[in-house]
Structure 1
């Protein structure tokens, strides 16, 4: 490591000599002892053009010296990688990677000025940082979680930059984060570790004993690094950016909690704890949203972690940047009625990722028993009304699944994620059909649930950057979840706060689900249950709208923190709707819209909820503009005054241009032009519209019927 040191330049009278071969730490110690005992008995060493001053530190990878660059007159940290035993080829590869590091310029990465080879050793001339390491910084004084996250997010930026340049650190830990004031920089990319193989993790260099049985306190085995290693590195697999992400999360957790997330007296016990997901709880007051972000990064399966470091850092910074203000107090008051204070409590550990069911490309009817003629008939028989309308969206979903499955089977390089996602959707469709058959008649709710709650197949085209699987829970929990979705599908209609539904949600059923089923078993269903509770409170005597707003914001944040971007988007759009129905500040409105936009941006472009919620937001934008801009004023100019209405018109125009647009969408656009005082534009819009039936609730939405304001 690099430590604070007082450096004395090499006097011009001191003889300089090139290092004759690999320079081990003991060589430097001997020279220093000789200089103390006998004066200038040995010449100062030169590596490349750099004049070695003193030893700063050493480790399994090599040694670090303070050295002088005579050309530029500056002090550098000179690191020599221990000679590799893999021959010239490995040395060349290490040199190439060192040169790649030298090209990486980022304020949170220790700069590498030069790379070369000396006596068979790769050396790096790096920026000299004299502020100590992260662990020293943490011990200097007590620090709040916001300060710790701020510093470590800088280190994360450095990792993200390295990943973008094609570099993997492989050995991220507190000793490799150097501090200079409040600025963090990462160093010591694991160059020598790039040639590690699985056998190195199975034995020690000294006695051949199994490394998995060795205590973590030994200093001659991997230098304590296993405490921060990702499980795939234990298994001898290649380290990837996802491995760095795991190590980063361990460091953050340790910095916040004062201890690492996983415990084990031996390396084997540590690996077992990681694979069980046995995270040792924190005792400090760290927000649950932070813990949820870290839990995802600590997933055993690299595919279940955040898509990349940037996504992880956005989530962490989103928590850090979110002021709590009076939200906690408001939620506490609401929790007496609905128990929504749980939204701010620490979430349970996410369920383990299940192995994907096989996608049989040789099966003539891949949905046999799931949605074939026999199963369709059973579902139709369980319904007493609106059978055709209800079955149409299910038929469309099954047809879309078959197309996606056929494309997967015809692909020359089938994608593992696509297989997992398709299997998940197949299970969801099977569970949905079973819930309809087993439960009393739901009428129109079946079609609504199929349209709104069957998981999007757009997710399966490519790996998504949010938690998209829905069928990971045990079968009995999945059965409860789909029954709940059918009963409470009315909560998921467009604009649920201000639009009457003929199927009010069953609040008692939702409350029973969230109080009896641990959220860890099915976090998605738990979020949906809370959402239906919110909507039930708006249309009944349960909860004042002002408290529902607070809880909608809390749910949006919690769902985003657990990676459920689609549910987060629903909650944030609900918050935007509730805000428009009553007095609010511009800052609060902006927060809701940013939250909704962020969650929607995480969804694939073809995700059906993305289109539907954009329509909701366009309607809300028009309602806002009609209240903010007097009718007809825009016909007389005044761009600033008319800006809200211009924005609403642009949003509605995008909605009206979508293939799924309705006559109600077009009529609302025409009415927006009417309000602006542009009768010609309104007439042009109406002229291109077929005379279709207009939904009254779409047009009446402009007046925002009063919510309960008790």
Structure 2
């Protein structure tokens, strides 16, 4: 089911289609009650058709919505209108970590603050009993205020692990590269599975390469189960953290993301500074959410992307804005995961 601009889902008015894929449709919308922009993800029909699945989804979605953290994309609402089940989430301006890494690795001084923020977000979710299960660069947004982890718990809520084999091979390979060994083998998982995925993400942030490679799902999963990535040259402290996260046995990993975060702060050499950055982000995130004009959603599935070109100029042309300290060059066009930009002219007219 595709919704056109101007259509309504309860109090939400559709503005534009942002992307489509195996998990349904994502839209930019406007909350007519609070007069703010939001993003709406329409859920797949199997969830809407089965009453028991829908009730379980709603219970778990409420738990995700209770996560209040400056580095977690906020889930505002869940709803059902005209037979359509949907999620309402905050709009975010920026680019995914996957898009940033396509231009190369991050310097350690830029990667560490982001890693600390991501670890903090995971720690908060784990304390609430929520395991992400699909942490990867495409599920991390870089904004002016720092990082935002997307789709917290949604892979679990809609059973994406079961459906993953039905998607395009390339998409599954991308997800498999960040799966923990126990997840790859369909064994029970706990927060230490997210620690493994975090280690794979951190390794890629620092090197620009995936920790576990391969051209097919089988090759990638074999690498996850058996291989060790090359050493991080000249970064012994970070290499030790990454390798402990990537231990094949959960018992050999960090006991919690709190321990991961503490180790990262020690490696950074300025834990107080890292905590100050988090506090600053917390104080500004609500303002950033209300001003944002772009949304990025990610899942284990392949989305059809509709990016807006961003060009520099004057007199009614669009303009590129700095995203985060890690994005030091301005490009004439950027592709985001289900991400839509509004031009400078549109911003003035809105």
After TM superposition, the score normalised by the length of structure 1 is 0.36
Alignment of 1:398-477 (within 5 A): none
**Which of 227, 231, 234 is the matching residue for 1:277?**
227
What's the CA shift for 1:276?
A: 2.1
**Which of 88, 92, 107 is the matching residue for 2:55?**
92
**Which of 19, 31, 38 is the matching residue for 1:76?**
38
* Equivalent in the alignment of 1:205: 166
The answer to whether structure 1 residue 314 and structure 2 residue 275 are counterparts is no
What's the CA shift for 1:246?
A: 1.0
Is residue 61–residue 192 contact of structure 1 (8 Å, CA) maintained in 2? no
After TM superposition, the score normalised by the length of structure 2 is 0.70
**Which of 70, 89, 93 is the matching residue for 1:107?**
70
CA distance in 2 between partners of 1:60 and 1:280 (Å) = 34
What's the CA shift for 1:74?
A: 0.6
What's the CA shift for 1:250?
A: 0.7
Is residue 105–residue 204 contact of structure 2 (8 Å, CA) maintained in 1? no
Comparing 144-153 and 115-124, the one that deviates more: 115-124
Is residue 16–residue 28 contact of structure 2 (8 Å, CA) maintained in 1? yes
Higher relative contact order (CA 8 A, sep 6+): 2
What's the CA shift for 1:183?
A: 1.0
* Equivalent in the alignment of 2:251: 303
Alignment of 1:632-651 (within 5 A): none
Is residue 94–residue 141 contact of structure 2 (8 Å, CA) maintained in 1? yes
Alignment of 1:545-564 (within 5 A): none
More strand by share: 2
CA distance in 2 between partners of 1:317 and 1:240 (Å) = 24
CA distance in 1 between partners of 2:119 and 2:257 (Å) = 7
* Equivalent in the alignment of 1:62: 24
The answer to whether structure 1 residue 249 and structure 2 residue 186 are counterparts is no
Alignment of 1:142-221 (within 5 A): 143-194=106-157, 196=159, 204-205=165-166, 218-219=169-170
SS in structure 1 of the partner of residue 131 of structure 2: coil
CA distance in 2 between partners of 1:121 and 1:192 (Å) = 19
CA distance in 2 between partners of 1:142 and 1:231 (Å) = 25
SS in structure 2 of the partner of residue 66 of structure 1: strand
Over 3 Å counting, the alpha-carbon distance change for 1:311 and 1:192 in structure 2 is closer
Is residue 106–residue 208 contact of structure 2 (8 Å, CA) maintained in 1? no
Q: Which structure has the larger Rg over C-alpha atoms?
A: 1
What's the CA shift for 1:83?
A: 2.5
Is residue 196–residue 246 contact of structure 2 (8 Å, CA) maintained in 1? yes
CA distance in 2 between partners of 1:155 and 1:124 (Å) = 23
Per-residue CA distance 1:364-413 (angstroms, 9 max, x = gap): xxxxxxxxxxxxxxxxxxxxxxxxxxxxxxxxxxxxxxxxxxxxxxxxxx
SS in structure 2 of the partner of residue 44 of structure 1: coil
SS in structure 1 of the partner of residue 196 of structure 2: helix
What's the CA shift for 1:271?
A: 2.2
Is residue 80–residue 123 contact of structure 1 (8 Å, CA) maintained in 2? yes
Is residue 17–residue 26 contact of structure 2 (8 Å, CA) maintained in 1? yes
Is residue 261–residue 281 contact of structure 1 (8 Å, CA) maintained in 2? no
CA distance in 1 between partners of 2:104 and 2:132 (Å) = 28
What's the CA shift for 1:199?
A: 6.6
More helix by share: 1
The answer to whether structure 1 residue 52 and structure 2 residue 2 are counterparts is no
- Paired residues in the alignment total 270
CA distance in 2 between partners of 1:83 and 1:96 (Å) = 18
Over 3 Å counting, the alpha-carbon distance change for 1:60 and 1:295 in structure 2 is farther
Over 3 Å counting, the alpha-carbon distance change for 1:140 and 1:166 in structure 2 is same
The answer to whether structure 1 residue 293 and structure 2 residue 241 are counterparts is yes
What's the CA shift for 1:139?
A: 5.0
Structure 2: gaps of 5 or more residues: 272-350
> RMSD of aligned C-alpha atoms?
2.7
Per-residue CA distance 1:443-462 (angstroms, 9 max, x = gap): xxxxxxxxxxxxxxxxxxxx
Is residue 94–residue 192 contact of structure 1 (8 Å, CA) maintained in 2? no
SS in structure 2 of the partner of residue 84 of structure 1: helix
Over 3 Å counting, the alpha-carbon distance change for 1:59 and 1:161 in structure 2 is farther
